[in-house]
Amino acid sequence: MDKERIDGRIMEPLLIHARVAEPTPVKGKNRLLQFIKDNTLIAMEYTEVHSLEEVLEKILFGNTALFIDGLAVALLVNTVGYKARDIEEPDTEAVVRGPREGFTEEIRVNVALLRRKIRSPDLRLESMFLGRVTKTTVCIAYIHGIANDKIVEEVRKRLQRIEIDGILESGYIEAFIEDAPFSIFATVGNTEKPDIVAAKLLEGRVAIIVDGTPMVLTVPYLFIETIQASEDYYSRWPSGTVMRWLRTIGIILTTQLPALYVATTAFNPEVLPTVLLITIAASREGVPLPAIAEMLFLGVIFELLREAGVRLPRPVGQAVSIVGALVIGQAAIDSGLVSAPAVMVTVLAGIASFTVPAQSITYIFIRLFLLVLAGIMGFFGLFLGNIIILTHMASLRSFGMPYLSPAAPSDYGNWKDLVVRAPLWAMITRPSVLGWKNRKRVRPGSMPRPPGDKEKKPVPGGNEDNA
Amino acid sequence: MLEDGRISNRQAVFLIVNTILATSIIFLPGMIFKEARQDAWMSVVLVTVFGVVAGLIIASLGARFPGRTIIQYSGDIVGKPLGKVIGLIYSLFFIYINAFIVREFADMFNINFMPETPVSLFSMGIVFAAAYAVRSGLEVLARVSEIVLPLVLVMLLLIVGLVCPEIDAKLFFPILEKGFMPVLKGAYPPALFFRGNHSDGNVHTLPAQALRGRRGNYSGCSYGGPVSIDGNGCGNRGIRYPCCLYKFSHPDAGQVYQPGGHH
């Protein structure tokens, strides 16, 4: 509640301005009410309420109720105000190039941030209150005419179905609207950055903003979004493309590497070149654990250190990583508990998972699953595990969209934003899986070229001097 | 969760090529080589011609009886009793070909990777994976094949590219050392295999077409045929060709894995 507003805008006019004001021409019972309305509550937002219940409810929001003796009505004045965190750069989604601002906990600020990015009357915001006790404001944002109406309708329907006592974070919403609650893959995306949400809205997605958290949900969420980053689009396209390939390699390394290590060393060492084989065998000499136990042991240690580093305050976290990485790693090798290649493989798999921050826990699950299968059945287990995971991913859908699209079902027109990040002037249409109407994004033929190059005719409606 | 089984023509082609490709890479070269020796490449050309003809026949049948499978229309062509027999053979063919592929896969892993493990483990594993995929529905199966096939092709091209320096053209000679008979004999098993899979391909494409027909666009029915030829042609020429050429012209060609034999 805003104390200054109560003092300056309600109390001061009532006590001081009212003395010098002209009496209202209205006669009768409502004279005093009209007088207060006309002369004291100037430029204040207020409503008249007639039930005590409503008064109670609104007061809990931070409003002020003004009762007048002898009248069965109360004036509810909007004095909602509270301290919110300033707009800061989110720690979780740091960028080198691109806007630094992030969402805050205050939904009005978040909506304003979004409106500032998309200044169109077509940006529609629909709010509702969810949570029986908390009555949290939840807001659906989409761009009318770009977003698929069916998806918007589905989001609305799924949100209205939620009945819970409290919504404290957007994760509560996610748990109720996701398509595959038992899957290890997320089918609802989240981000802390307005520019990312704006980009997704422009692609035809729907965002769900929840009061009290900077994490905004976006649906439908497809698997390619884990390898897409906002910087891919802000930097030049060759670097965007290469970064995307690197992230793909990161996913492959982080999920496959430990399992591959176990499958090769424990089952089929003959697939390695002889020199490499001898080096690995020499470093495994005297290691008491089998390869699978070694990998599990190191994997658990790595995840422990990572988790400890995240939770602790930053300076302490750094100390933990140094102690963990240097001391434990070195000591483990020196004491002969684990071999050096195993440490390398674990650390490489762990580091690679940091290149794809979204869904990092999913990759730990996959890594473990493949590791256990490879420990039981070698390469066959690895193969089987991958087929099962691939089949599972292919069977997922997010708000009706196949999870692996546009890779499968393949849509080569949309590979411009999958295999490569095509130049912006070449991404003429929006992703077709999301919306079918209003697909045009860029004017065709907008590739920059030197002036005077008349080889290609300008698009009709262009500069008439060339005609 | 079973999906409604609506796949595009391209997905159907991917499924067919995927079915044929594995056997074409691992299995058939050994079979052809056993009979035709250094003339195996001629067998491959022969099989390609044969495959296209067989594909054309089945495609035109498919165009004539849109929305129906070979089991349904065989009765109309040869009479009801004989049609039932064809239908039975046709159904048995699928059991046979799947058993064949499962065994082929299990043998490959057993012989190349884990010779001491019982072969049934591999069979059970792959059947389990297949069951999981089938349970998820045709659409999922098609999507998986769309991801897997490009990967397989890239790896295949990589292997072919890496062994290019090893190709020795002298190994093609002498041409037709023992006459034309071995070439024909070499072409026989793959021809059988491919003919089977052509019809298999049509089964894949037909449901897609039936669906399109229901939506009132019958023009789609006429191009199931070309698609299935396209798929098989691609499987025959584009993919099998270079890898066979490599295998037959390689000094170690005799070491190529042979079914049921020692390698």
Alpha-carbon gap, residue A393 to B100, rounded angstroms: 28
Q: Can you state the angle between helices A360-395 and A237-262, rounded to 10 degrees? A: 90
pLDDT of residue A403 exceeding 50, the answer is yes
**A contacts of B114 (beta carbons < 8 Å):** 267-268, 378, 380
Nearest CA in chain A to B109: A380
| pLDDT range class, residue B252, cuts 50, 70, 90 | very low
pLDDT of residue B47 exceeding 50, the answer is yes
Alpha-carbon gap, residue A194 to A183, rounded angstroms: 28
Q: Residue B131 class from Cβ within 10 Å (0-12 exposed, 13-18 middle, 19+ buried)? A: exposed
- Write down the pLDDT at residue B191: 66
Whose tokens are 């490569």? That residue is A420
Q: Does B75 touch chain A (CB under 8 A)?
A: no
Encode pLDDT of B175-210 as tens digits: 777 778 888 877 777 666 655 554 444 444 443 333
- Write down the pLDDT at residue B216: 29
pLDDT of residue A454 exceeding 70, the answer is no
**Pairing status of strand A74-77 against strand A46-49:** antiparallel
**Is B147–A379 a contact, with Cβ atoms under 8 angstroms apart?**
no
Report the residue count for chain B. 263
**Is B136–A394 a contact, with Cβ atoms under 8 angstroms apart?**
yes
Shortest Cα distance, chain A CAs vs residue B104, angstroms:
14
Cβ count within 10 A of residue B211: 15
Least confident of A341-345, B137-141, B184-188: B184-188
Encode pLDDT of A124-159 as tens digits: 999 999 999 998 999 999 999 888 888 999 999 999
Least confident of A77-81, B33-37, B142-146, B181-185: B33-37
Alpha-carbon gap, residue A291 to A419, rounded angstroms: 35
Tokens read off for A137: 């404001």
- Write down the pLDDT at residue A373: 95
Q: What is the mean pLDDT of residues A282-297?
A: 90
Q: What is the mean pLDDT of residues A23-27?
A: 73
Shortest Cα distance, chain A CAs vs residue B233, angstroms:
21
Of chain B, the percentage scoring pLDDT greater than 70 comes to 68
pLDDT of residue B125 exceeding 80, the answer is yes
Beta-bridge partner residues of A65: A76
Alpha-carbon gap, residue A130 to B139, rounded angstroms: 36
**Pairing status of strand A397-398 against strand A123-130:** unpaired
**B contacts of A390 (beta carbons < 8 Å):** 144, 147-148
pLDDT of residue B73 exceeding 50, the answer is yes
Of chain A, the percentage scoring pLDDT greater than 90 comes to 42
Q: Which residue has the higher pLDDT, B25 or A203?
A: A203
pLDDT of residue A258 exceeding 90, the answer is yes
Which of A248, A391, A401 should one mutate to test binding to chain B, selecting the residue with the greatest count of B CBs within 10 A?
A391
| pLDDT range class, residue A405, cuts 50, 70, 90 | confident
Q: List C-alpha distances in Å: B208 to A348, A443, B12, B144, B147.
A: 45, 35, 8, 17, 20
pLDDT of residue B249 exceeding 50, the answer is no
**Is A409–B142 a contact, with Cβ atoms under 8 angstroms apart?**
yes
Shortest Cα distance, chain A CAs vs residue B16, angstroms:
16
**A contacts of B148 (beta carbons < 8 Å):** 390
Q: Which residues of A299-334 are buried (b: 16+ CB within 10 A; e: fewer)?
A: bebbbebbeebeeeeeeeeeebeeebeeebbeebbe
Q: Does B144 touch chain A (CB under 8 A)?
A: yes
Dihedrals phi, psi of A290, to nearest 5 degrees: -70, 160
Prediction pTM value: 0.79
**In the A/B pair of chains, how many CB contacts fall below 8 A?**
66
Helix, strand and coil percent figures for chain A, each rounded to 5: 50, 10, 40
Say if residues A179 and A187 touch (Cβ distance below 8 Å). Answer: yes
| pLDDT range class, residue A391, cuts 50, 70, 90 | very high
Tokens read off for A388: 């099962």
**Is A394–B137 a contact, with Cβ atoms under 8 angstroms apart?**
no
Shortest Cα distance, chain B CAs vs residue A186, angstroms:
18
CA A362, A368, A372, A377 dihedral sign is: positive
Q: Which of A80-89, A384-393, B91-100 has the largest mean confidence?
A: A384-393
Tokens read off for A170: 């957007």
SS3 A207: strand
Least confident of A41-55, A101-115, B129-143: A41-55
- The type of residue at A144 is H
| pLDDT range class, residue A161, cuts 50, 70, 90 | very high
SS3 B257: coil
Q: Which of B7, B125, B140 sits opposite A394 (nearest CB)?
A: B140
Q: List C-alpha distances in Å: B107 to A107, A312, B21, B111, B261.
A: 61, 53, 17, 6, 11
- Write down the pLDDT at residue B258: 36
Q: What is the mean pLDDT of residues B143-162?
A: 88
Average of per-residue pLDDT values in chain A: 86
Q: List C-alpha distances in Å: B120 to A129, A142, A414, B96, B104.
A: 58, 54, 42, 17, 12
Q: Which of B113, B126, B143 sits opposite A409 (nearest CB)?
A: B143
Encode pLDDT of A421-438 as tens digits: 888 888 888 887 666 666
**B contacts of A404 (beta carbons < 8 Å):** 143, 147
Q: Which residues of A touch B (CB under 8 A)?
A: 267-268, 377-380, 384, 387-388, 390-392, 394-395, 402, 404, 407-410
Q: Which residue has the higher pLDDT, B198 or A100?
A: A100
CA A191, A194, A196, A202 dihedral sign is: positive
**Is B113–A390 a contact, with Cβ atoms under 8 angstroms apart?**
no
Nearest CA in chain B to A409: B143
Dihedrals phi, psi of B164, to nearest 5 degrees: -50, -45
